[in-house]
A = this chain, B = another copy of it.
Amino acid sequence: MFSFKVTKQSKNSLARTGILETSRGKIKTPVFMPCATRGSVKGVSFEELKNLGFEIILGNTYHLYLRPGDKLIKKLGGLHKFTNWQNSILTDSGGYQVFSLGAAYKSYQNKNGDKESLVRFKKEGVIFKSHLDGSKHLFTPEKVIDVQKNLGSDIMMVLDVCTEYPASYERAQVSMELTHLWAKKAIEYWQKKRNQKQALFGIIQGSTYQDLREESTKFISNLPFDGIAVGGVSVGEGKTNMYNVLKWVGPNLPQGKPHYLMGVGEPEDIIEGVKMGFDMFDCVLPTRLGRHGTIWQTKNWQKFQKIDLRKSKYRYDQKPMMKDCSCPACSQGYTRAYISHLIKEKEMLGMRLTSLHNLFILQELTRRIREKI
């Protein structure tokens, strides 16, 4: 059971509000999805997420497949039951993590001291070595669907090839073509193994090349996916390039399907994405920034600034993280001085308070966006 309905279309831009419905409940879009990478959104509890108003979170197939393992999670009743999160879950396909692996460890020293690549792409799938123990694994378009079926997420993503930035035209084209081949294989497999509970989204690639992005948009949009995502952005290409991709892709997406901009979580980028017709966003940024003591502030919910609470000027600062903020940390009276101290001492409470604040900012931002459309 999965549906999406546009409830309002802006007259000034491609922005729209909508309702995504999964068997777990309704989700108001545009929506930001916090990342529960290893089955937990770092620093916060599910109760806190629910209290903040989040209706869907994201889990990472790559990490959960390696540990504790999708078979274990299946045996324990699926990811919802395992984690105790009752609302919707989207799982990525592992494509992005494999890309990160490839980027972070261009080569890998094996037991004999030889350098090997950690990641190798073949027509049938991608072979990679676990970052945990070096064990070898193969992800195919079919396999990652099976894994996500084991996880039991509400929305699954197809396996794609996330192109690094910068990439030559040839490399971007090869990656895109493999992405398309895998998308077709995934759809074919899914049509045979379909269940009623889960939805499957396709992913557009094509790096920063207009004709490739347009070609990919057309190709992926023409397949019977439940939703369409844009991948390969927010990989170091910068705002100008990213916004170009949104311009090339956004207007050409099928209107009746949800549009998901993957890995994007800077407030300004969410605003821009919404204008270009995107409904869904995810990013580790709010919690990752928070853990390092960096928080967002805004006065008008249009422009946002980051401040680093570890800086010595905040040692005596008794103001809340943000003026008039109604997040659980600011509204309870926690000061910059105290949080600054906690972050420097690596106390969990500090990381929790900053993460709650940053998550609140994105939740409140999407709420305001929905209201405004």
Residues of A within 8 A of B (CB): 38-45, 47, 67-68, 72, 75-77, 82-84, 315-316, 318, 332-335, 337-338, 341-342, 344-345, 347-352
Would B76 and A316 count as touching, CB distance under 8 A? yes
Total copies of the chain = 2
Known contacts A38-B347, A316-B76, A334-B84; is-contact A341 B43 (Cβ 8 Å): no
B42 near A316: Cβ-Cβ < 8 Å: no
How far is it, in angstroms, between the C-alpha of A42 and the C-alpha of B351 when the chains are bound?
Answer: 11
A247 shortest CB reach to chain B, Å: 38
Closest-CB distance, A57 to chain B (whole angstroms): 13
If the complex has contacts A67-B341, A338-B82, A338-B83, are A348 and B316 also in contact, measured as CB distance less than 8 A?
no
Q: Which of B43, B67, B77, B338 contacts A348 (CB 8 A)?
A: B43
Contact B316 A72 (CB under 8 A): yes
Instruction: Verify B67–A318 contact, CB threshold 8 A.
Output: no
Instruction: For the complex formed, measure the closest distance between the CB of A134 and the CB atoms of chain B, giving whole angstroms.
Output: 18
Q: A76-B318, A337-B76, A351-B348 are contacts. A342–B40 as well, Cβ < 8 Å?
A: yes
B residues less than 8 Å from A47 (CB atoms): 332
Find out whether the CB atom of B39 lies under 8 angstroms from the CB atom of A82.
no
Question: Closest CB-CB distance, A157 to chain B, in whole Å?
Answer: 22
A39 touches B76 (CB 8 A): no
Nearest B residue (CB) for A340: B68
A352 touches B348 (CB 8 A): yes
**Min distance, Cβ A296 to any Cβ of chain B, angstroms:** 20
Instruction: Give 4 new A-B contacts, CB below 8 A, not counting A41-B349, A67-B341.
Output: A40-B348, A67-B344, A77-B318, A82-B338
The residue on B at minimum CB distance from A63 is: B345
Q: Which residues of B contact A315 (CB under 8 A)?
A: 68, 72
Q: Judging by beta carbons under 8 Å apart, are A42 and B348 in contact? A: yes
* A40, B75: Cβ atoms closer than 8 Å: no
B345 touches A67 (CB 8 A): yes
A67–B341 alpha-carbon span in the complex (Å): 8
